[in-house]
Structure 1
């Protein structure tokens, strides 16, 4: 058991312990304290009072990006960054969350139920993640879940499993808000995984403070038959830096982002680049979508944008970019599992309470079998996603597992959304019930690339 002395969200915290902690012990130290505070109750009971500003369904926006902070260069250029070790494998095939992981899930699940779910419909209409949710996620420590503990984060070992559990729990509240909440942490995790010493010391301190910068992972492009592994956005060497040209789509909270991780083709290989919002030649436009609307999806246009040589994140041979794609797809699978669970919980209650011809409609075999099928497919999605996350956390090859998870979550996730709408009949078509929103969100799993990362 952990004995908590103190906790300061986003910073160092002191913990005494009687036994060795699991990899996310530092996170749980803070989360268990937060669970007893008034934060969740205060936010959960407050009604939304601010008119959300990202109303792209009516007005849209187009704006050149402007830097709102300066990231001062620190650290030795070219020196290797801090790398957290992989989890130790027990040799036993057991995907049951550890005690600490379960505590983490419980706290995030409470946040999703008390804070996210009540404002999800309004956030979807406004295409904006509510400020209260973002504030609570920072207090919980979600942006630094994948940042090494030695750099002010809470990760002692690879945290792919913890990140997967968090994404699933948040998505049970709303997938769009979950994406908007996790987007900044995706960039921090990427820098923690592949950044040089200079990149880590330049950017990560901002994520460990109280004013976490908005950041976005931009891999998708608005191209026909787009293949994420062969981006059409280009990076050309120019003197001691690079020049970027292209268009990226599905950029979460792009209109607010201060830092981007952009995928581009360099010398025929896909690569990642760090891009600050003040760079000349950047343009952000509203890009509202059918689903995941609360994530404030935007389009980023790059026209002869110059970046220095040290903006390159990770390796030049494409391995870093490929791993980024796989970890992103893993995160989307976790979001699909969480949203699918929300559908199952909602329709189970609905069919047991909704009566037709004097009895609950769940007494009809066609209805009961459809609900049972949702539960079966959902469990298969969860198991293969957890297995991929477990292998990623242990530093093993997880390419096969994440490919299976993506295929299963794409096909069965959309089917779960469709069946959820079908089970509600006419109620499934109207916004009075959240299932139509979950159906729209689940259709994103097969087409979204990047944005989130575990």
Structure 2
């Protein structure tokens, strides 16, 4: 058992930390106000190799293990959870292809990511969130033409308005249900495929989140990922792989809030002394620090188990659920420690608190995570 990062991981951590401190943190408030990332930021991230972190070496990527990817996402989460979400969406949209795609699909998709392009994972719909079997987007096969025609609407899609390629889940059975759920690659600009409204969100505002509309979108059969009806398994395996990274972003967000609270507690004076000297504040800081450290260890364990080829579905759900809850608790406590200043947009913790809420919602709500955990324990 070794808790030390190796030399390569430490170098990457320092590199990303430096990038965050220069390119993300100073502009986080402005991006939050403007509801978009800074112009050129994602291009700079691509130049840093932050958009293709899960691409294997055989497809031209860095071939990083899950622990290293988690270290990177934690640093990004410290700077801005919204920016980190946009970058992490590339990983989420890539796993279905890496899990079940053909060699041609894997190479083509990885080439896009290596070129700094963005991807989007399109599963959620207005009427289908936690219940993936409720996906109503249809995929009708034309055997003679060797094509599928897709019709439907997707909701709350990260990178929806700015991606170059989309991993879309649709149902190939008229009766619907999980047995017909199937994954498809839909390139940007495909006729009939349009971007709908952009969401005006409470948090992670620099992350582009849009509705997608598919009206008689015709794609070749070669764009189907896996077999018909295999989409549910692909989606669940994808979420298992990606959930620890949501946990990593949550840890980074919580750590940043804790750092702000500690700095403020040392500087703020009341009754003639820094509030850090008050036992009530010390108790809050200690609890916050314990939660952050516990969440970090849970994330790293889930990632390590994945890297070892072990069954890690339960641990992935635990890591995501606990770290997301910790992010919400610690950011809320950071606002409390800072009092009125914490509630003001002059300080970053109110943004962090708003950003933290989504961690308990996306990529499987924390209620769904608890069901996953319970099912793994009980059955």
Into which bin does the TM-score normalised by the smaller protein fall?
0.7 to 0.9
- Name whichever of 291-300 and 239-248 sits farther off: 239-248
Task: State whether structure 2 residue 210 is matched by structure 1 residue 302.
Answer: no
SS in 2 for 1:121: helix
TM-score by length of structure 2 reads 0.87
Q: 1:237 aligns with which of 140, 152, 157?
A: 140
Please state how far the C-alpha of 1:271 moved relative to its aligned partner.
Answer: 3.3
Matches of 1:265 and 1:383, distance apart in 2: 38
Instruction: Give the Cα–Cα distance (whole angstroms) in 2 for the partners of residues 131 and 159 of structure 1.
Output: 30
Deviation digits for residues 191-211 of structure 1, max 9, x if unmatched?
3443212212333323323xx
C-alpha deviation, 1:189, in angstroms: 5.3
| Secondary structure in 2 matching 1:443 | helix
Query: Is 1:416 matched up with 2:313?
Result: no
Per-residue CA deviations over 1:204-250 (Å, capped at 9, x if unaligned) read 323323xx2232122333347x3154342434332133333332222
Whole-Å Cα distance in 2 between the matches of residues 119 and 295 of structure 1?
A: 14
1:18-417 aligned at under 5 Å gives the runs 93-155=1-63, 159-188=65-94, 190-209=96-115, 212-223=116-127, 226-227=129-130, 229-239=132-142, 240-267=146-173, 268-269=178-179, 270-284=181-195, 285-315=197-227, 316-317=229-230, 318-417=232-331
Distance in 1 of aligned mates of 2:205 and 2:220: 33
- Please say which of residues 391-400 and 165-174 is displaced more in the overlay: 391-400
Q: Distance in 1 between matches of 2:318 and 2:91?
A: 25
Partner of 2:357: 443
Q: Deviations over 1:418-449 (max 9, x none)?
A: 11111111111111000001001110012112
Compute the displacement of 1:383 (Å).
0.9
CA, structure 1 residues 271+132, in 2 after alignment: closer, same or farther (shift >3 Å)? same
Q: CA deviation at 1:277?
A: 1.6
Q: Distance in 2 between matches of 1:228 and 1:119?
A: 37
| Larger RCO, structure (CA 8 Å, separation 6 or more) | 1
Asked if structure 2 preserves the Cα contact closer than 8 Å seen for 1:333 and 1:405, the reply is yes
- RMSD of equivalent CA atoms: 2.1
* Structure 1 residues 172-204: Cα deviation after superposition (integer angstroms, max 9, x where no partner): 111111122343354345534432122123333
- Uncovered stretches (5+) of structure 1, i.e. residues with no partner: 1-92
The answer on whether the counterparts of 1:252 and 1:296 sit within 8 Å (CA) in structure 2 is yes
Aligned residue in 1 for 2:376: none
Match of 2:369 in 1: none
- Cα distance in 2 between the residues matched to 1:295 and 1:382: 23
Equivalent pair of 1:262/1:272 in contact (CA under 8 Å): yes
1:124–1:294 Cα contact (<8 Å) kept: yes
Equivalent residue number for residue 55 of structure 1: none
Once the two structures are overlaid, the 10-residue window that deviates more, 324-333 or 340-349, is 324-333
Match of 1:23 in 2: none
**Per the alignment, do residues 150 and 246 of structure 1 end up closer, same or farther by CA in structure 2, a change over 3 Å counting?**
same
Structure 1: distance between partners of 2:155 and 2:59 = 31
CA distance, structure 1, for counterparts of residue 18 and residue 60 of structure 2? 25
- The answer to whether the Cα contact below 8 Å between 2:96 and 2:235 also exists between their aligned partners in 1 is no
Does the aligned pair in 1 maintain the 2:334–2:342 contact within 8 Å? yes
1:50-95 CA-partner distances (Å, limit 9, x unpaired) = xxxxxxxxxxxxxxxxxxxxxxxxxxxxxxxxxxxxxxxxxxx334
Runs of at least 5 residues in structure 2 that lack an aligned partner in the other structure? 365-379
Give CA-to-partner distance per residue, 1:327-361, whole Å, 9 cap, x none.
23222111100100100111001011100110011
Structure richer in helix, relative to its length: 2
Residues 51, 118 of structure 2: 8 Å contact kept: no
Structure-1 separation of matches of 2:29 and 2:185: 33
Distance (whole Å) between structure 1 residues aligned to residue 350 and residue 7 of structure 2: 35
Q: Which moved more, 1:213-222 or 1:164-173?
A: 213-222
Q: Distance in 1 between matches of 2:223 and 2:73?
A: 28
Q: The residue matched to 2:51 in structure 1 has which SS?
A: helix
